[in-house]
Amino acid sequence: MNLAADCARCVGLCCVAPAFVASSDFAFSKPAGVACRHLAADASCSIHDRLIPSGFPGCVAYDCFGAGQRVVALFGGGARSARMLAAYETVRQLHELLWYVADALSRSRAAPVHGALAQARSAIEAAVAGGPSSIEATEPAAYRATVAPLLRRASALTRARSAAGGPGRDGPGPECGSADPSGANHAARDPTGGDLAGPEPAGRDPARDDLAGPDLAGRDLVGRDLVGRDLVGADLSTASLIGADLRGADLRWADLLAADLRGANLAGADLTGALYLTRTQVGGARGSTATRLPDRLPHPAQWLTAGSSAP
């Protein structure tokens, strides 16, 4: 399943369905279901080539995980409708879950949960493939409740420290994120507002306590000076890293599930093998060509300007 957006095969669903609030990410507020004033008649963005200077870095970072073109195809094309917009919101959440599941399935150390993850993936894919009626009957929260503990376990296994002295050191391969991408506790919230992790399951997972790296899950690290910090294998899931200075930090194999990286400076940081990192997180952060990302994530265009650490 393609989890990369293809705007040419969509009808501007992301410019209509979501709400956004006037902030550093958006120049004005827009309610859900109302078209952005910059949405052109041909479903293109009339300021696409100048979104950041126009005050819309949030649009640059936004990612539908391929939900837009998938919904349009399932509805057989045609004009936008209220039903299509509702389906888009559901499919986007399900595709995001598939991104995390595919990441976990690419980790060789997470093999003990690969079977359960594959079953969850099949169930999610079937719900979407069933078409509009199936999507309308689907509640993403139910799938999150199933997937979240599997993601937690996959993370703990992947980040486990080996005899070589660090997590994920049983060889590069999948641990470096080269595979096709398709919960933390602390009631993680996904970018669509859903409860991604749910409550901590009864009993502690020994892998979380005994094997995983530093536990910074859910921590308020807004604006913190973390330059050059060793965060290898750290659990940063749901942490708030808004505006944090992570220049040159070592974030290899760190769990970044639902971590808020808006405005964080990742220039020169090493995120090789980082778990559950998304295009939205990377797009909302600042970085440079020296920032090392998992293979599945390209450097955002705004990072590629010589000497920049945009946005």
Residue 27 lies in a domain: yes
- Given phi > 0 = left and psi -120 to 50 = alpha, else beta, which region is 228? left
Residue 233 lies in a domain: no
The pLDDT of residue 308 is 52
Share of the chain above pLDDT 70, in %: 81
pLDDT in tens, 18-49: 999 999 999 999 999 999 999 999 999 999 99
Residue 213 lies in a domain: no
Residue 36 lies in a domain: yes
- 202: Cβ contacts below 8 Å, ≥ 6 apart: none
Q: What is residue 90's three-state secondary structure?
A: helix
Domain of residue 77 covers: 7-146
Residue 259 lies in a domain: no
Residue 268 lies in a domain: no
Which residue, 104, 93, 117, 95, is CA-closest to 195?
Answer: 93
Cα–Cα distance between 71 and 51 in angstroms, integer?
Answer: 25
Residue 126 lies in a domain: yes
Asked whether 274 and 294 are in contact (CB, 8 A), the reply is: yes
Residue 242 lies in a domain: no
Indicate the number of domains in the chain. 1
Question: Model pTM?
Answer: 0.84
pLDDT in tens, 171-223: 333 333 333 333 333 333 333 334 443 333 344 443 334 445 689 999 999 99
pLDDT in tens, 156-169: 999 986 434 566 65
Q: Give Rg (Cα) of the chain.
A: 19
When pLDDT is averaged across residues 51-63 and rounded to a whole number, the result is 93
Q: Is 272 exposed, middle or buried (0-12, 13-18, 19+ CB in 10 A)?
A: buried
Which residue, 178, 182, 177, is CA-closest to 273?
Answer: 177
